[in-house]
Homo-oligomer: A and B are copies of this chain.
Amino acid sequence: GYGRFGIIYNDTAAGDSTDVTSRFRLQIDATAESDAGVTFGARARIQQNNTDNAGSPAGTGINGVRFFARSGGLEVGVGNIFGALEFMPGMYPIDLGLTGLGYDYTAYNFRGDAYSSGGNGAAGSNGVEVMYSAGDLSVHVSASDTSDRIAAHVAYTFSGWTVALGAQDSDNAADTEFAASVGGSIGPANITLAYADNGTAGDHIVLAGRFDVGAATNVEVYVADADMGSDTGYGVDFNHDLGGGTSIRGGVAKRLNGDTRADLGVRFNF
């Protein structure tokens, strides 16, 4: 797992605030392997943000559990599934600042099943998914009773570039219907272009890049435009490795809704 803590600044229409921000994530991965080489396992997290329960975070238990059976390039998951759109290449092109700063750079905008670190996700809603990869090809199909979602993505990597296409059918008109992304490297930069048709929430398009600027530091930037937001969004951050699994991170983002958010702090893996 990891811990992170620092300062976060929010400037909204209702005023601005500066607060401590923190997250504690204890990850529990439990597995067993059959004689035939099939791995069975479960993943659970105990994750607490200082903002959970309106700032009364104590009492955190495990999230919805994801179970899986895996053999070679094939994996079947049930419960709090990863989700085909959430796991589609290009949906997390960068990891902005200490906290993500609103994740406006995730084009499908969480309008589909996704692994929830603190909640149920599709656990309890018959979440099921199949993931398959062979060489440069990967396929992911997921489904749940949440709005009767069924989603899929296909991704292919050639010459260092990954192209992915995703689609979803659901009973919720505000769910994502279609998504596409392309990402790869140009010199020291890693560039991603992602697009999603988010149903009644309209189009959402993102261009993002990560640049190594020295042996231990990188800078990430994005620009996003979406029908659901009044403004064009953009942001920039830096991550500096302090060694031993520790780093200092910070960034600032102009949100799609016009807010400004900035953070600065440390993260440590354990």
Contact = CB atoms under 8 A, between A and B. Distances in A.
Interface residues of A, number: 64
B57 A64 contact: yes
B55 A242 contact: no
In the complex this chain forms, how many copies of it are found?
A: 3
Contacts of A58: 61-64, 80, 116, 118-121, 123
A225 to B, nearest CB: 34
Interface stretch (A125-133, A161-169, A190-198): A125-133
Nearest to A242: B34
Contact of A3 (B26, B42, B116, B118): B42
Interface of A: 1, 3, 5, 19-20, 22, 24, 26, 28, 30-36, 38, 40-42, 44, 46, 48, 50-65, 67, 69, 78-80, 116, 118-121, 123-128, 242-246, 266, 268-270
15 contacts: A1-B30, A22-B79, A24-B44, A26-B44, A34-B243, A36-B243, A40-B246, A40-B266, A42-B270, A57-B65, A58-B116, A58-B120, A60-B61, A60-B62, A61-B61
